Chains A and B, each alone.
Chain A
Amino acid sequence: EVQLVQSGAEVKKSGESLKISCKGSGYVFSTYWIGWVRQVPGRGLEWVGVIYPGDSDTRYSPSFQGQVTMSVDKSTNTAYLQWGSLKASDTAIYYCARHQFITGGQFDYWGQGTQVTVSS
């Protein structure tokens, strides 16, 4: 069974750093991209970017380029999304989802989401 399991909710202060995770199982992790999506109530869903575990190739949305960093650890089948200095505007639910560049490969399985709350 394909599963993406994300790390738990985080409460941080502005300026702090944070790394959240997404662990894949039930499939060959290195052959599917992992995408990240942000959801803010009232702002809908936003595509953060994708990373390919096979070679760590990354593609960022221009809106998130330089604001977050995606990475992977193939040895543990885990993808990460991290911030060097959080802002209150980073408060959101972050989802990971797997993806392949084939018909039907786009975001077919999702993690349960990680709530990130940043207080100023």
Chain B
Amino acid sequence: DIQMTQSPSAMFASLGDRITITCRASQAISNSLAWFQQKPGNAPQRLIYAASFLQSGVPSRFSGSGSGTEFTLTISSLQPEDFATYFCLQYRNEPWTFGQGTKVEVK
């Protein structure tokens, strides 16, 4: 199985901050990576697909980059509704595997 190592596992940030979350794959996955946001009690929602394509309806402050084994999710200016947990997912090989998650909390 491909291991997805996500960092950090948690972070504290303030409104307006620029934050970056990283996922590293244990082997190359091309651009077969998606990012999801999850709020307590809700299902995950996709933000980014194919590493850098913004899901329709997702604010442009979210962006994704990377290819191969290293990927990043960036939020350019943190808004109140962005405090949540973020996951990456690789879908290059089965079984698909998720990162462990990054919880973004208020500083």
Contacts and interface: CB of A to CB of B under 8 A. Distances in A.
Interface stretch (B10-18, B19-27, B38-46, B76-84): B38-46
B50 A103 contact: yes
Interface residues of A, number: 21
A45 interface: yes
Contact of B89 (A49, A103, A107): A107
Interface residues of B, number: 23
A95 interface: yes
B101 A44 contact: yes
A38 to B, nearest CB: 10
Given A44-B98, A44-B100, A47-B98, A95 B55 contact: no
Interface in B73-107: 87, 89, 91, 94-101
Interface class of chain B by DSSP: loop
Given A46-B98, A106-B49, A95 B89 contact: no
Contacts, number: 53
B98 A111 contact: no
A113 B43 contact: yes
A2 to B, nearest CB: 12
A104 B53 contact: yes
Contact of B43 (A49, A95, A103, A106): A95
A99 to B, nearest CB: 8
Nearest to A64: B95
Nearest to A44: B100
Nearest to A65: B95
A8 to B, nearest CB: 15
